[in-house]
Amino acid sequence: MRDPAIQQLVLKIHSRCDLACDHCYVYEASDQSWRSRPTVISEETVVQVARRLTEYVLARNLDSVTVILHGGEPLLAGPARLRRICAELTRALAPVTALDLRIHTNAVRLNRDHLQIFDEFRVKVGVSLDGDRVANDRHRLDRRGRSSYDRVLRAIELLRLPEHRHLYQGLLCTVDVANDPVAVHDALTSLDPPRIDYLLPHSTWDFPPLGQQAGGPPTPYADWLLRVFDRWEEQGRPMPVRTFESVLSTLRGGPSLTEALGLAPSDLAVIETDGTFEQADSLKTAYEGAPATGYDVFRHGFAEFAEHPGVRARQLGIAGISDTCRRCPVVESCGGGLYAHRHSAEKGFDNPSVFCADLRGLVEGIAERITDHALHPAVTDAEELRLAQLRLDRDLLARVNARLAGDPDWDAAWRVLVRLDADGATAAHLNTVLAHPYLRTVLRRSLDGPADLPRLLAAVTAAAVSAGAEAALAWRQPGPDLHLPTLGTVRLSGPGRVECVSTANGLQVHGTGDDGKELTAEWRPSETVELLDGPALLLDDADPSRDRFEAPVTDPLAPSDLALFVKRLQAAHEALDSREPGWRKAADALVVTTITPLAPGCGLRLGAHAFGALGVAVDFEPDAFVRELPLLGRRSRLAALREVTDLCVPGSDAGRLLDEASECVAGLAAAPRDTAASLRRQAEDALDRLVSTSSGRHLTSSGLHLVDELRAELAVAHG
């Protein structure tokens, strides 16, 4: 994979605020740099920010970028200035990428004039609100000590009106354990937000959170959040709650959905009102100057910012957290917590989070509540596993539709999807496209960030074309490559407004470029790998979301290189069929639908959260293919099962032991005698510990079934 790109910009457009919240990290924390900043961002700075970001988007070929207008309180900039800022960002960025504009506000001043501007530029509005009146007024008072509650609720009621509802992004609540968690949550859900985000109060080891009192409960914040989780469950999860959704995702082997949890690399930049680049705002909690980089948009670009040591430190994944965190069973979900919350004067950021006990308590508490102990049919039936994976994609698609409903381009696409799904003959083609391994990335990104409408509409078009169904869809295509998953790529003469018309006779693409000229199109079909024994495989070297491997993918291959690669793949499969007849019927047989070429020397790799994808180096050796495919099949099956069911209580040590036993058993077949004996002992030890009293109680029926499978394989290997 390439180095993580910066895809979110927090743009400070006003450095002062009309509230005096006593838990504010900007004004009440260690870093007081706001005092020396210009009150309002200048138009010159906005132009330079837009230029720098456009350069970076083009250099990294980014499909989308999010810009969050922030403060202080950004509405203090006034409607006229807000409009000029939105217009400049849109002018520079909209022609080259999907621009997701947002604003985060206390909403005290929000009125119809603002909403008219936000509607014009599709600016989503996030509002800070700490719950009911009692909870909110505990911290969120204005500079005269007056409540902000009624003014904020009036603004939210404006956002809830039908003509403005599409601008309502959600509510952000800072947790205070002195407040009643159920009352807080009920107050927020009564406002019908599209999503809620609960934030832990910014704290460090030197300035611990107020809720952690000597003699008090050991995990006050976990206890508080788990009461909210239980209430959310009782309500039927009426809207996403980002903290909970992230834990639920990572417990099932999925990605983290917030920088505050999980091991996902940071993709955030902050630009202050004077044009200086800073790291995450939360670092202001640590010490004076903690977020500073020494860079600014007049002398530096986003690429230079992305190489700053502080930025890189938040992109290291598990290598960037403390030894204590690396040994923790819930590290995949917690990720060491928010970077700022790890700080101490003694050890810098090389600590667990100051909320360590709370984060572990929260993850384990959610894991215990959601664990499915029944035997899932996917454990014993490969077809059931395929169908369960497809249901995941369909569920994501339904959630994306709930988010995008009302957009005319998407509504037209949804009508096509409903029509395709209603007919058994066309539904099969739809399912093939939905099951394409790289579409899930687009669906998830469209839920958690800016919706990738061009990719989504291209997928719907691909389903219609595959089914030979009539459909006409139009959208703004931000780049020249219009990729239809499972089919191929339409190379356009440039970006512009395109219309794709599907008929029984195929596909027609036409449109008008951003330069006003008629678009021309050239078709490059995807290649397939025909096998003597087994279904044909899709060779995908062009999907924009194919970078799902811990190794670089190649650019689209030249025809001669593509033909050679296909021949090598066919030869490798024939060798495997000869050496292991019937291998596809094994429980752990690797399910591959799509092969993507990787750079030379990268071997074979499984795709992350991409069921059915296999990355293969263009210079792979057939013998290595034959040797490694069974092991990869075992890993892939475990990963796929974890996405659809529980093999153990998520986050428990049983998961690690199951992986260890599985890897050892897989290595037995090709291991020399002395190595095989060691592997067998290691596997037996892991399996014994798995069924011991301490770990065995964490196994589900599905996990126990896999343990029995492994024991049976060991017995055969030993015999």
pLDDT digits (tens, 9 = 90+) for 398-426: 989 988 888 889 999 999 999 999 999 99
- Give the pLDDT score at 571: 92
Asked if 49 and 65 touch (Cβ cutoff 8 Å), the reply is no
Boundaries of every domain in the chain: 8-370, 382-522, 526-623, 646-718
Task: Provide the pLDDT confidence category of residue 719 given band limits of 50, 70 and 90.
Answer: low
Compute the distance between CA of residue 631 and CA of residue 634 in angstroms, rounded to an integer.
5
- Give the pLDDT score at 3: 75
- Retrieve residue 699's tokens: 């196994």
Q: Does 43 score more than 60 pLDDT?
A: yes
Task: Provide the pLDDT confidence category of residue 138 given band limits of 50, 70 and 90.
Answer: very high
pLDDT tens per residue across span 212-270: 888 889 999 999 999 999 999 999 999 999 999 999 988 877 778 787 887 788 889 99
- Give the pLDDT score at 158: 97
Q: Does 450 score more than 80 pLDDT?
A: no
Asked if 28 and 22 touch (Cβ cutoff 8 Å), the reply is yes
Q: Report the percentage of the chain scoring pLDDT > 90.
A: 66
Return the C-alpha torsion angle 405, 410, 413, 414, nearest 10.
Answer: -10
| 8-370: CATH superfamily | Aldolase class I (3.20.20.70)
Q: Which region among 161-175, 201-215, 691-705 has the lowest average model confidence (pLDDT)?
A: 691-705
Smallest CA-to-CA distance from 118 within 69, 64, 157 is with 69
Q: What is the mean pLDDT of residues 87-101?
A: 93
Q: Does 329 score more than 90 pLDDT?
A: no
Compute the distance between CA of residue 93 and CA of residue 514 in angstroms, rounded to an integer.
13
DSSP string, 109-166: T--HHHHHHHHHHT-EEEEE--SSHHHHHTT-BBTTS-B-HHHHHHHHHHHHSTTTGG
Q: Could you tell me whether strands 124-128 and 98-105 are parallel, antiparallel, or unpaired per DSSP bridges?
A: parallel
pLDDT tens per residue across span 523-556: 999 999 999 888 899 999 999 999 999 899 999 9
Q: Can you tell me whether residue 581 is helix, strand or coil?
A: coil
How many Å separate Cα 99 from the centre of its chain?
A: 18
Name the CA radius of gyration of the chain, rounded: 26
- Retrieve residue 98's tokens: 């999907």
Residue with tokens 């343990």: 707
Task: Provide the pLDDT confidence category of residue 694 given band limits of 50, 70 and 90.
Answer: low
pLDDT tens per residue across span 562-601: 999 999 999 999 999 888 888 888 888 888 999 999 999 9
Compute the distance between CA of residue 414 and CA of residue 459 in angstroms, rounded to an integer.
11
Residue count (the chain): 719
Q: Does 695 score more than 70 pLDDT?
A: no
Q: Does 693 score more than 70 pLDDT?
A: no
Asked if 444 and 619 touch (Cβ cutoff 8 Å), the reply is no
Identify the burial level of 89 via C-beta atoms within 10 angstroms of its C-beta, where 0-12 means exposed, 13-18 middle and 19 or more buried. Answer: buried
Compute the distance between CA of residue 265 and CA of residue 336 in angstroms, rounded to an integer.
12
Q: Can you tell me whether residue 218 is helix, strand or coil?
A: coil
Compute the distance between CA of residue 248 and CA of residue 257 in angstroms, rounded to an integer.
10
Burial 261-295 (b: 16+ CB within 10 A, else e): bbbbbbbbbbbbbbbbbbbbbbbbbbbeebbbbeb
Asked if 493 and 480 touch (Cβ cutoff 8 Å), the reply is yes
The helix/strand count (H/E) of the chain reads as 24, 20
Q: Does 696 score more than 70 pLDDT?
A: no
- Give the pLDDT score at 318: 85
pLDDT tens per residue across span 347-388: 999 999 999 999 999 999 999 899 888 999 999 999 999 999
- Give the pLDDT score at 405: 84
DSSP string, 474-506: EEEE-SSEEEETTTEEEEESSSEEEEEEEETTE
Task: Provide the pLDDT confidence category of residue 718 given band limits of 50, 70 and 90.
Answer: low
Asked if 171 and 127 touch (Cβ cutoff 8 Å), the reply is yes
Q: What is the mean pLDDT of residues 94-99?
A: 90
Compute the distance between CA of residue 53 and CA of residue 7 in angstroms, rounded to an integer.
10
pLDDT tens per residue across span 268-290: 999 999 999 999 888 888 888 88
- Give the pLDDT score at 447: 81
Report the chain's mean pLDDT, rounded to a whole number: 91
Q: Which residue has the higher pLDDT, 457 or 35?
A: 457
Q: Does 671 score more than 80 pLDDT?
A: no
Q: Report the percentage of the chain scoring pLDDT > 70.
A: 98
pLDDT tens per residue across span 606-634: 988 899 999 999 999 988 888 888 889 88
Asked if 124 and 130 touch (Cβ cutoff 8 Å), the reply is no
- Give the pLDDT score at 313: 83
Compute the distance between CA of residue 646 and CA of residue 376 in angstroms, rounded to an integer.
8
pTM of the model: 0.78
Q: Does 300 score more than 90 pLDDT?
A: yes
